[in-house]
Structure 1
């Protein structure tokens, strides 16, 4: 049973959000408004907390910690849960926390490097939890009211605005063509589902972002991975644990864009980049002889190689010297301990 506090929060916050937009689309006490509240209540009922302890010595613990907590949402009639994948990296134990505070063991089903999604499934049946319908962000527009739902001990709902949809390049060798940006920010965003007014799932929470507008105004908010990216690969994820797009070259660098150049800000220990002599502060000028000036171009040129272990030639500026560095890339997943179940 949902607590009265959560039910009141859904109704109050969504009413205020709609009113702030210049008038309610569906006024309280009308059938349309009640249908909206019922849909959002059902959506929140499918949200769970996700608690993970990573394996001893896990490489990912350096940046994510061994103990991780976030949210997930039931998307399948068999209890399949969608969350953000970094919660599951090198997991030793996984448990979910339901709306009635029951802690259930779970196993990892998939981690998809290309999209960032993670799938898990409880080891005992979930009772009384209906899966949420998958929506689409294609028709979503800037200014739309959306609901962010958090599970677990800090279960709550927050109303937000969809601020923009645009490509996103992450510093950790990650790029998606369309990310969802919302504001105001939600603190417990990891794996939190994003719902539209019909209670349909639009995306899964990934990051806090300081500039959701992508300009100089510095409006804080969150980035959500759109569920549209899940639809075509879901059967493959359940069958193999990842998508074909995730099996791509990985260098092991953290990078940023600086004045039209790609700068290396960190080189992972024991990574292909470190072995080849790439160093913090290096500026990447070209990949395989093709000039790159953005993270997107940098990544896409690397991923154009057909095999994860291909050799990749970088032109880099190290200090005052331009050098050619050849890196034998590798499959990122081979550097990580696989959670039991995948």
Structure 2
């Protein structure tokens, strides 16, 4: 007889025979999303570099893409991924009964890869309900429904593999990991718990082949629900801002600061006039708690601060010279919201964005980046996933030395050249310094 090792046997309720009842209830609320992007009069890179060679023009092209989504209210609001609908010229939603409806974008948040669509309400429209992603523990059942490879209504089942995964997709990564099979076309679809509640929005996979190997990631409902509510009510996202530049604490830094461990976020600098400065936070402080939440590192503090509603009051615990102190801070609103969500602001229509967050070159980064003392340019802080910049190979840490043969000295220079190239319907040619090596990158205005 095999021993159970002291564990009580699982009940039939804990291990259901199947998930057919949940699938029958929720399948009508899950949709396939098809998009079309029409690219007209795009000039080839050869035309741009050799304008007198008489090169030909590319004929208008149509790009089609497929994703998934789910109805969140009977009014016709549908949740999906931003990368499914970004830059789409046409968007259609296909319901489980094969009926198709046109959809419009209500709002998008590239930083969390969440978007909200709207269709005309249908009679007796089935909607999903949000669940509590924070209550999910590794080993709990997960159910994914979507349209992988165009196969609508596909159901896969697995377990929650891990929580709070940072896969370097964006500044606010906090993914759920599941081994429920997720493939191309599942993006934007729901991840359900065993009660049929949405606890995540399927977004990404790790795969060397392009197919599922049992490592999928979903935006937790805690994050997605907040973003969706804001997009529906205002069409935009407001994130908290405290005004500090941070860096991770290494064991050697912790030792130099006289701290017992490497937990917390080290304040590298404080922005003048920011909430942090007004609260008394100084460079060299280590933030260890934020509103009763322990801060393990920079990522924790970034998420905690961004999730606060502007105007809210929080308590920040800092360690300065080995002494802890509690400070009261009033969270402000980000004034550079478009840059922080991966888009250069005020470059034209909302759907044509380069997708980079830019700044002057940080003095402390010059040696690390391998830059010469006389190198000038604009520092790429972040690159939005699936943006034009990302697709062209630009990376965080690159320094844009010139654009269209014009030297760049500040972020506004890049914006000006990008706007000019868009008006001329030509690619913008960047000269990049990457770890001391020079290279050219052409970004098409599509």
Give the Cα–Cα distance (whole angstroms) in 1 for the partners of residues 118 and 230 of structure 2.
Answer: 16
Aligned positions of 1:263-278 closer than 5 A: none
1:102 alignment partner in structure 2: 99
Q: Deviations over 1:125-173 (max 9, x none)?
A: 32343111111111101011110001464321000111000142535xx
1:82 alignment partner in structure 2: 79
Give the superposition deviation at 1:287: 8.1
2:205 alignment partner in structure 1: 208
SS in 1 for 2:117: strand
Q: Deviations over 1:89-129 (max 9, x none)?
A: 1111000111111111111111112321111111x332343
Q: Does 1:68 align with 2:65?
A: yes
Matched residue count? 257
Contact 1:287 1:312 in 2 (8 A): no
- CA pair 207-287 structure 1, distance change in 2 beyond 3 A: farther
SS in 1 for 2:25: helix
Q: Does 1:307 align with 2:335?
A: yes
Give the superposition deviation at 1:326: 4.7
SS in 2 for 1:230: helix
Q: TM-score, normalised by structure 1?
A: 0.61
1:275 alignment partner in structure 2: none
Contact 1:137 1:227 in 2 (8 A): yes
- CA pair 25-176 structure 1, distance change in 2 beyond 3 A: farther
1:44 corresponds, among 15, 27, 39, to 27
Contact 1:150 1:156 in 2 (8 A): yes
2:117 corresponds, among 115, 120, 132, to 120
Q: Deviations over 1:305-328 (max 9, x none)?
A: 943268444324444747675544
Bigger shift: residues 315-324 or 108-117 = 315-324
Contact 2:238 2:334 in 1 (8 A): no
1:262 alignment partner in structure 2: none
Aligned positions of 1:225-304 closer than 5 A: 225-245=219-239, 296=299
Q: Does 1:175 align with 2:171?
A: yes
SS in 1 for 2:174: strand
1:166 alignment partner in structure 2: 164
Bigger shift: residues 144-153 or 315-324 = 315-324
Bigger shift: residues 319-328 or 75-84 = 319-328
Give the Cα–Cα distance (whole angstroms) in 2 for the partners of residues 306 and 125 of structure 1.
Answer: 35
- The root-mean-square deviation of aligned C-alpha atoms, in Å, is 4.4
Tell me, which stretches of 5 or more residues in structure 1 are unaligned? 1-21, 60-64, 212-218, 248-285, 338-342
Contact 1:74 1:132 in 2 (8 A): yes
Give the superposition deviation at 1:42: 1.0
Contact 1:167 1:175 in 2 (8 A): no
SS in 1 for 2:178: strand
Q: Does 1:192 align with 2:193?
A: no
SS in 1 for 2:22: helix
Give the superposition deviation at 1:49: 0.3
Contact 2:156 2:180 in 1 (8 A): no
2:143 corresponds, among 143, 147, 162, to 147
1:133 alignment partner in structure 2: 129
1:157 alignment partner in structure 2: 155
Give the Cα–Cα distance (whole angstroms) in 2 for the partners of residues 109 and 156 of structure 1.
Answer: 26
Tell me, which stretches of 5 or more residues in structure 2 are unaligned? 1-8, 43-61, 242-266, 271-282, 285-296, 307-331, 340-357, 380-409, 423-446
- CA pair 80-313 structure 1, distance change in 2 beyond 3 A: same
2:217 alignment partner in structure 1: 223
Q: Does 1:111 align with 2:108?
A: yes
- CA pair 320-326 structure 1, distance change in 2 beyond 3 A: closer
Q: Which has the higher contact order (CA 8 A, sep 6+)?
A: 1
Contact 2:239 2:333 in 1 (8 A): no
Give the Cα–Cα distance (whole angstroms) in 2 for the partners of residues 183 and 107 of structure 1.
Answer: 32
